[in-house]
């Protein structure tokens, strides 16, 4: 049963990736046809064609390797001086298919009578931008729909008042020995929390009559009360219980305003002598359905995180390489390939990750969140203004508009269409980097996958 669930999780991601790619290319296809551009091919995948059919002037099909897609519009690049009259260079929107076209030295295709004005390069600048932005925007729309359904129908974890007892230490250990000593000797004194009967999972409601709003309140109220009998009210199994503890004097690690433990420049704990209870606490979280108004904030946070990963991609890829070929652990917030996403989906659906909601709804919610994140990553990634990405074509169109407006203001002749094909050396370099990165990520996802839970 576990294997079947794992396979279903992988298939869920495979289908989701395929649909995301297909809809991305539809985002290019629909405005291109609306603006009259002749589209000769719509393909999901690359490599050998597995299946295709022709509808009107467009061939629709599926190729063997489902890691990309493309539409082929006639005349994406303007003719060069010396090109045979009535022909234009072949190109398409997909990164891998563009690479293949470029490897064939941009072979020429004939323009049939009546198609002279149905070429992409003759579109106005706004229309070019709409066509090339259609793919990334489609990924953004997919992410918005998935996230909206997720938070309004399933819910979102929200922080509530109080603090959960995450763990209870059995014996008293100074902060300087906390990482070195893992077992208690019979002679070790018991912690106040252990003696009072606090248990992991207890929700601390108040300490000494003071309500607990967040985890930092626990230390703030316990540390000054050395040797003072103190009442702690907890919720256990839905019922309130009052326990009495007497914090003892001990060396404990200081925490910052946000509750994070403080360390010095050498990485050692910053300690202080204060009241000690012997518990670690965690925030109280509850799953609640949210209004649709929270979606923009969630989108902004995720897009900001993805953009941060891309900005620091050299360091991120260095970390991936060190993990793949060394002993370093993978960063769970770092980049991964579609292989890693599929593997993670299989582990989630099969219940192999601790701390994950084991219900069907919980697993499905995580998988949907995974697909939403993947589409947001595609949206942000394709905005990079470099060929062969969609953002490169958008940048070329905007540059064309800027040159024409400048010429108009200066009463100079129209400079004509910008030939983005002149940036093909950059496209070659970017494509090479993308291939190397993809290979590294796929290898790392096999030998050192990201671990959650």
The pLDDT value given to residue 87: 63
d(CA 365, CA 219) in angstroms, rounded, equals 35
Residue keyed to tokens 């395929």: 18
Task: Look at residue 176 and tell me if it is in a domain.
Answer: yes
Task: Look at residue 174 and tell me if it is in a domain.
Answer: yes
Task: Look at residue 230 and tell me if it is in a domain.
Answer: yes
Task: Look at residue 166 and tell me if it is in a domain.
Answer: yes
The pLDDT value given to residue 130: 97
Grade residue 103 by pLDDT with cuts at 50, 70 and 90: very low
CATH of the domain at 183: 2.30.42.10
Task: Look at residue 380 and tell me if it is in a domain.
Answer: no
Evaluate whether 73 touches 39 at the Cβ level (below 8 Å): yes
The pLDDT value given to residue 376: 95
254-278 exposure pattern, b = at least 16 Cβ within 10 A, e = fewer: ebeeeeeeeeeeeeebebeebbbbb
d(CA 416, CA 429) in angstroms, rounded, equals 27
Task: Look at residue 61 and tell me if it is in a domain.
Answer: no
Q: What percent of the chain has pLDDT over 90?
A: 28
Lowest mean pLDDT among 62-71, 94-103, 319-328: 94-103
- CA angle 38/387/385 to nearest 5° reads 110
Residue 95 has pLDDT above 80, yes or no: no
Grade residue 14 by pLDDT with cuts at 50, 70 and 90: confident
Residue 108's nearest CA partner among 80, 143, 150, 148 is: 80
Task: Look at residue 235 and tell me if it is in a domain.
Answer: yes
Range of the domain at 223: 158-287
Asked whether the CA dihedral 161, 164, 169, 173 is positive or negative, the reply is negative
Evaluate whether 257 touches 238 at the Cβ level (below 8 Å): no
What is the average pLDDT across 411-419?
Answer: 85
Grade residue 369 by pLDDT with cuts at 50, 70 and 90: very high
Question: Which phi and psi (to 5°) does residue 109 adopt?
Answer: -125, 145
Residue 416 has pLDDT above 60, yes or no: yes
Residue 10 has pLDDT above 80, yes or no: yes
Q: How far is CA 406 from the centre of its chain?
A: 39
Q: Are strands 58-73 and 87-89 parallel, antiparallel or unpaired?
A: unpaired
Task: Look at residue 183 and tell me if it is in a domain.
Answer: yes
User: Whole-number mean pLDDT of the chain?
Assistant: 83
Q: What is the pLDDT of residues 270-313, one digit of tens each?
A: 666 778 888 888 888 888 899 999 999 999 999 999 998 888 88
Domain count, the chain: 1
What is the average pLDDT across 19-42?
Answer: 94
The pLDDT value given to residue 47: 82
Evaluate whether 411 touches 442 at the Cβ level (below 8 Å): no
CB under 8 Å to 265, separation ≥6 — which residues?
none
Q: Is 244 a catalytic residue?
A: no
- Report pTM: 0.79
Higher pLDDT, 122 or 111: 122
Secondary-structure percent of the chain, ordered helix, strand, coil, rounded to 5:
45, 20, 30
Grade residue 127 by pLDDT with cuts at 50, 70 and 90: very high
d(CA 323, CA 327) in angstroms, rounded, equals 6
The pLDDT value given to residue 252: 67
């Amino acid at each position: 049963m576990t294997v079947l669930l794992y396979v279903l999780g992988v298939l869920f991601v495979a289908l989701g990736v395929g649909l995301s790619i297909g809809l991305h290319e539809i985002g290019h296809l629909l405005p291109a046809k609306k603006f009259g551009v002749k589209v000769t091919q719509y393909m999901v995948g690359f490599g050998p064609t597995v299946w295709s059919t022709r509808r009107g002037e467009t061939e629709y099909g599926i190729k063997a390797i489902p890691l990309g897609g493309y539409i082929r519009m006639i005349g994406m690049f303007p003719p060069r001086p010396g090109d045979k009259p009535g022909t234009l260079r072949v190109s398409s929107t997909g990164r891998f298919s563009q690479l293949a076209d470029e490897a064939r030295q941009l072979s020429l295709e004939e323009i049939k009578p009546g198609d002279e004005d149905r070429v992409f390069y003759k579109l106005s600048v706004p229309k070019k931008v709409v066509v090339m932005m259609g793919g990334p925007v489609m990924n953004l729309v997919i992410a918005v729909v998935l996230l909206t359904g997720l938070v309004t129908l399933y819910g979102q974890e929200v922080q509530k008042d109080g603090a959960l007892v995450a763990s209870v230490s059995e014996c008293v250990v100074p902060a300087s020995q906390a990482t070195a000593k893992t077992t208690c000797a019979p002679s070790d004194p018991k912690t106040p929390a252990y003696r009072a009967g606090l248990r992991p999972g207890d929700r601390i409601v108040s300490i000494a009559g003071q309500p607990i709003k967040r985890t930092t309140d626990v230390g703030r109220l316990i540390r000054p009360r050395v040797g003072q009998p103190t009442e702690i009210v907890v919720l256990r199994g839905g019922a309130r219980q009052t326990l009495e503890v007497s914090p003892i004097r001990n060396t404990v690690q200081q925490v910052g305003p946000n509750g994070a433990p403080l360390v010095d420049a050498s990485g050692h704990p910053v300690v202080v002598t204060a009241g000690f209870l012997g518990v670690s606490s965690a925030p109280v979280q509850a799953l609640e359905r949210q209004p649709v108004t929270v979606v923009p904030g969630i989108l902004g946070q995720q897009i900001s995180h993805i953009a941060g990963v891309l900005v620091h991609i050299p360091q991120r890829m260095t970390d991936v390489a060190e993990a793949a070929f060394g002993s370093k652990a993978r960063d769970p917030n770092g980049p991964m390939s579609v292989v890693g996403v599929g593997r993670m989906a299989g582990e989630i659906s099969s219940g192999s990750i601790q701390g994950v909601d084991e219900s069907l709804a919980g697993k499905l919610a995580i998988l949907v969140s995974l697909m939403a994140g993947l589409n947001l990553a595609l949206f942000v990634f394709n905005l990079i203004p470099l060929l062969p990405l969609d953002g490169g074509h958008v940048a070329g169109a905007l540059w064309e508009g800027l040159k024409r407006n400048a010429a108009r203001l200066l009463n100079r002749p129209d400079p004509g269409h910008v030939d983005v094909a002149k940036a093909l050396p950059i496209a070659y370099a970017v494509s090479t980097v993308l291939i190397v990165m993809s290979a590294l990520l796929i290898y790392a996802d096999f030998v050192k996958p990201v671990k959650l839970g």
